[in-house]
């Protein structure tokens, strides 16, 4: 096992559970592997595939995923192939023949193709194992349901002797039961890893206006020159606006949403994988196919509709285990919009509950990671130190009077005013609406003049979250005082609010490529594991990255197929000057040593 790991993948040790999972497969037993994105699921079936005689058959839902895996394995000197609807007849025939002769070690196949190929090909092949990748596609309750996945019971019906390993990053119980049941796994061993992704930092920014969001995004991106990320937006229009804004600031950005043609979407995805587009502004349509390991950040331009969606989306950052940052914007407008969606959906109460939990996360005054893990049924005993709450815990104060002012304003409008109008009344703003409705005559008009409008926005969000106020969706989103709210208003309850943190972010102009200032050392948001690079090493790092990109471009695949960012960082610090020492670096197996050693070593020598 260790020899195979070193020879083909260049790694020295297994990650938690990998070894046990591999042993289970080698013993020809079924297994279900639940491991977060980036946990290292692929090796769990690839190593047994290399050790066992015959061909491993991997069922995978997307052609792009298969292509990626096949390219990556071939770059490790392993004969892998994929059978899918993109193959020409000739290719299919060649692959089939090589499978029959046992030359192909790992065969990727789509579920539809598998079903149609079973009677012919597979019966005459020597199959070592079946791996069902993205196994959550089996569940109707999940987000990526694929009807063909529900027929995979045939695997054990036709091949009772061959072990089946199912793998997914989706944790929830229903999905798990569905997988076990529908695949008909026999006494499966279930391996459940922690779903924590400690390398992802978590930050939430509340109530920012469009312009402020733009500034915050530019500031954030200024730390990521040349590095890729995703910005998720609620609407197509928003993706277009954000992408345009980035392009105006010379940041290569593109949009991705369901309104584009399949070709357009494929093109964008490919360019992103190949590090040619830096930022993709996407709706949720940009999903499962994104197994790019070096996505360095995920920004949510709007609040997602549930913690499941949120976790899935931020999970696309930092698959390589290196530090990655996530930033979530959260505003009243998002809540209003999402609640409307939930109201109009078929499963009103469930969707509202989900949104409520998402909102709790956004309003958190305790470690955000603990909230996430808790949501997935994992108790964490420690604060993470890598979320904004841990880094800068909110101060609390007795906010009873502020709450009373706001609730009183709501009451005096006869509960017929919305969020922004209430802020105008509290601030004593003279808008047309205020004078027309005579709200300037109210006793509460202007009682909150001393508090800036943006703070009122924040406090009102807190009051919504604490259940002092609610939004009436049937009545033009007017605010209503709840029973608990009434108790505060009449002095029977006190209310604690979180102090608002003022962070005025200076917009740093985008640094030119020749800039010698390291964006890493200039970071304002601490990334716990950020590899420290001085200016000189940064020069080497950029040179290595450029070499990797050139070599990848020449062969028409993404740079991460050649080696991961972590391997680049290792090369940068170890500076191997012989092919032999190049081959010792973690992530460089025999094949890569032979194929790329000379070029990398030559480059590194020029930096010594």
Residue 367 binding: pick among ligand ADP, Zn ion, none (C-beta 5-8 Å cut-off by kind): Zn ion
The count of chain residues that interact with ligand ADP, using the rule CB under 6 A, is 16
Report, in Å, the least distance between residue 47 CB and ligand ADP: 9
Structure tokens at 280: 């993709």
**74 sits near ligand ADP (criterion: CB under 6 A):** no
Q: Choose among 523, 35, 569, 52: nearest CA to 322.
A: 569
Pair 117, 87: CB distance under 8 Å: no
> Judged by CB, which is closer to ligand ADP: 46, or 462?
46
For position 319 contacting ligand ADP by CB under 6 A, the verdict is yes
How distant is the alpha carbon of residue 354 from its chain centre? 18
Q: Does 384 bind Zn ion (CB under 5 A)?
A: yes
- Report residue 149 as tokens: 């996945």
HSE of 483, CA atoms in CB hemisphere, 13 A: 0
CA distance 561 to 552: 8
Interface of this chain with ligand ADP, residues 32 to 71, rule: CB under 6 A: 35, 37-43
Q: By C-beta, is 404 or 564 nearer to ligand ADP?
A: 564
Taking the least distance from each CB to ligand ADP, the nearer of 40 and 399 is 40
Partner from Zn ion, ligand ADP, none binding residue 210, C-beta < 5-8 Å depending on class: none
Check binding of 367 to Zn ion (CB under 5 A). Answer: yes
Bridge partner residues of 230 (DSSP): 280, 298
- What is the rounded distance in angstroms from the CA atom of residue 243 to the CA atom of residue 214? 11
Which position among 22, 387, 425, 497 is part of the footprint of Zn ion (CB under 5 A)?
387
Site track for ligand ADP across 276-295, x = CB under 6 A: -----------------x--
The H or E element containing residue 307 is helix 307-314
Binder of residue 41, out of Zn ion, ligand ADP, none (CB less than 5 to 8 A by kind): ligand ADP
3-state helix, strand, coil in the chain (%, to 5): 45, 15, 40
| Gap between the Cα atoms of 244 and 92, Å rounded | 42
Contact partner at residue 456 from ligand ADP, Zn ion, none, CB < 5 to 8 Å by partner kind: none
Please report, as residue ranges, which positions from 13 to 32 form the binding site for ligand ADP (by CB under 6 A): 14-15, 18
Q: Which does 293 bind (CB under 5 to 8 A by kind): ligand ADP, Zn ion, none?
A: ligand ADP
Query: Which partner, Zn ion, ligand ADP, none, binds residue 68 by CB below 5 to 8 Å per kind?
Result: none
* Cα separations in angstroms, 186 against 21, 351, 460: 15, 35, 54
Cβ-proximal residues to 273 (8 Å cutoff; 6+ apart), any chain: 68, 292, 558, 560
What does 387 interact with, of Zn ion, ligand ADP, none (CB < 5 to 8 A by kind)? Zn ion
Q: Does residue 390 belong to the site contacting Zn ion (CB under 5 A)?
A: yes
Q: Count CB-CB contacts under 10 A for residue 597.
A: 18
Cα 179 to chain centroid distance, Å, stands at 23
Place of tokens 């200039």: 522
Binding mask 295-324 for Zn ion (x = CB under 5 A): ------------------------------
> Of 365 and 586, which has the nearer Cβ to ligand ADP?
586
Residue with tokens 């299919």: 92
Cβ atoms < 10 Å from Cβ of 218: 18
Shortest Cβ contact with ligand ADP: which residue?
40
Nearer residue to ligand ADP within complex by CB, 193 or 413: 193
Residue 391: CB minimum distance to Zn ion, A? 8
The pairing of beta strand 228-232 with beta strand 279-282: parallel
Give the interface with Zn ion as residue ranges (CB under 5 A): 367, 369, 383-384, 387, 390
Give the interface with ligand ADP as residue ranges (CB under 6 A): 11, 14-15, 18, 35, 37-43, 293, 319-320, 564
């Amino acid at each position: 096992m260790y020899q195979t790991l070193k020879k083909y993948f260049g790694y020295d040790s297994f990650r938690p559970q990998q070894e046990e999972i591999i042993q289970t497969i080698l013993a020809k037993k079924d297994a279900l592997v639940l491991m977060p994105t980036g946990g290292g699921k692929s090796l769990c079936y690839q190593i047994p595939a290399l050790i066992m005689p015959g061909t491993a058959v991997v069922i995978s839902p997307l052609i792009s995923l298969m292509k990626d895996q096949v390219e990556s394995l071939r770059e490790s000197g392993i004969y892998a192939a994929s059978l899918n609807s993109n193959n020409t007849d000739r290719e299919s025939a060649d692959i089939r023949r090589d499978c029959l002769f046992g030359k192909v070690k790992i065969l990727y196949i789509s579920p539809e193709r598998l079903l149609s190929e079973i009677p012919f090909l597979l019966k005459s092949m020597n199959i070592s194992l079946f791996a069902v990748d993205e196994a959550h596609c089996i569940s109707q309750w999940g987000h990526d349901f694929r009807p063909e996945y529900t027929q995979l019971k045939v695997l054990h019906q036709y091949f009772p002797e061959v072990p089946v390993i199912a793998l997914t990053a989706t944790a929830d119980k229903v999905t798990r039961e569905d997988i076990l049941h529908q695949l008909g796994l026999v006494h499966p061993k279930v391996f459940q890893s922690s779903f924590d992704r400690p390398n992802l930092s978590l930050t939430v920014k509340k109530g920012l206006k469009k312009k402020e969001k733009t500034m915050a995004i530019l500031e954030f991106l200024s730390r990521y020159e040349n590095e890729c990320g995703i910005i998720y937006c609620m609407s197509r229009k928003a993706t277009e606006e954000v992408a345009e804004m980035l392009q105006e600031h010379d940041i290569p950005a593109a949009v991705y949403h369901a309104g584009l043609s399949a070709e357009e979407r494929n093109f964008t995805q490919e360019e992103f994988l190949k590090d040619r587009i830096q930022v993709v502004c996407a709706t949720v349509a940009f999903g499962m196919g994104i197994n790019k390991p070096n996505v360095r950040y995920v920004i949510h331009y709007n609040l997602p509709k549930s913690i499941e969606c949120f976790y899935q989306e931020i999970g696309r950052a930092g698959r390589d285990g290196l530090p990655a940052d996530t930033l979530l914007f959260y505003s009243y407008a998002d809540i209003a919009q999402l609640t409307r969606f939930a109201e109009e959906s078929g499963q009103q109460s469930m969707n509202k509950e989900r949104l409520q939990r998402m909102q709790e996360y956004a309003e958190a005054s305790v470690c955000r990671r603990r909230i996430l893990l808790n949501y997935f049924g994992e108790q964490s005993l420690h604060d993470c130190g890598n979320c904004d709450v841990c880094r800068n815990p909110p101060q609390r104060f007795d906010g009873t009077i502020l709450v009373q002012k706001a609730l009183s304003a709501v009451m005096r409008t006869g509960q017929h005013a919305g969020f922004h109008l209430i802020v105008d009344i509290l601030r004593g703003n003279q808008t047309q609406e205020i004078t027309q409705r005579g709200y300037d005559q109210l006793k509460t008009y202007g009682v909150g003049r001393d508090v800036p409008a943006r703070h009122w926005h924040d406090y009102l969000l807190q009051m919504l979250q604490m259940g002092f106020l609610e939004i009436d969706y049937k009545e033009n989103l007017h605010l209503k005082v709840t029973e608990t709210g009434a108790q505060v208003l009449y002095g029977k309850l006190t209310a604690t609010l979180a102090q608002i943190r003022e962070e005025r972010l200076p917009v740093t102009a985008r640094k030119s490529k020749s800039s010698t200032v390291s964006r890493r050392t200039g970071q304002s948001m601490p990334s716990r594991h950020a590899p420290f690079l001085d200016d000189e090493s940064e020069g080497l790092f950029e040179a290595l990255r450029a070499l990797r990109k050139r070599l990848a471009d020449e062969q028409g695949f993404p740079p991460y197929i050649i080696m991961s960012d972590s391997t680049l960082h290792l090369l940068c610090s170890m500076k191997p000057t012989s092919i032999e020492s190049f081959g010792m670096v973690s992530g460089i197996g025999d094949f890569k040593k032979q194929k790329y050693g000379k070029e990398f070593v030559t480059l590194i020598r020029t930096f010594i």
